[in-house]
Structure 1
Amino acid sequence: MPELAGIHHVKIPVTELPRAVEWYGRVFGFKPVIEFPDADGTVRGVAGEMPGLGTTLVGFRENAEAARGCQGFDPVGFALQDREDVVAWAAHLDALEIPHSPVIEASIGWLLVFNDPDGLELHLYTWAAHGVDHSSRPGYGRLISSPGAPPGL
């Protein structure tokens, strides 16, 4: 099988493009670099960079129906290194007055959960593991014992 070269972009549906661009800019440092005008010239989509994501672009596209359908869902988890980074992000969100979960001891690492303006659930999850086995808890991940299985979610 040919090998993938990473994640090119993540596209998030939104109800109001200017609001999303402003919010993701304030929270994550999002900077638009490409816009997508419709046939009538109205820009209903943008893609851009967020610090820490390397060459992976994040895109936003006005699509109210899709945005409503994604409310409460977490299609992407942004990576943090360790628990201290989660605590720093909690303080950052507090300063912006954005409600969030407490620091959660998740399946493998630590997790912080909050919502964007359209109710999309955003996860900040650590690469560092906490070493506690939660595999017997409902809703928590457990390792799959097969060759090539990922190290857990």
Structure 2
Amino acid sequence: MNVTSPARPATSGADMQDFFDALSRGEVDHAGKVFADNVLLLLPGLQPVHGRRRAVRLLRLIRRRFAEIGWTRASAVDAEPGWSIATWTVAGTLSDGTRFRQEVASVARFDVEGKVAYLSDYLKSTDRLGQRAEPAQLFLGRG
């Protein structure tokens, strides 16, 4: 049961679909509006990113790697007040034409204003064309 109170923000894992839909459309600035000013973004294989401006800048770099990308939520659970866990299938085509598919779990913490203060992704798979790839290769084309 999801109860809204000052201790439990209205935003939840179910609302993260809007964030990922905006990223899929290439609307990075719109997607970045969900972040708190002091957000901590943790992506596999990359250094932690602190702050909304840096997080949006990183998302722009990542999004440029993809010609097409889409997130399909498999499940979402609101945990303790302000925390959410969601699982996703991410599929698409890199800008070089390579197709990929990943299974991802996201853990998010929301501040009292409903903004994402913490987002950490965990890759369950890093396959592209049947070959295992390092996360940094998938995100930024290096590794």
Task: Please confirm whether the aligned pair reaches a TM-score higher than 0.5, indicating the same fold.
Answer: no
> What is the TM-score when the length of structure 2 is the normalising length?
0.28
> What is the TM-score when the length of structure 1 is the normalising length?
0.27
More strand by share: 2
Larger RCO of the pair (alpha carbons < 8 Å, separation 6+): 2
- State the structure with more CA Rg: 1
More helix by share: 2
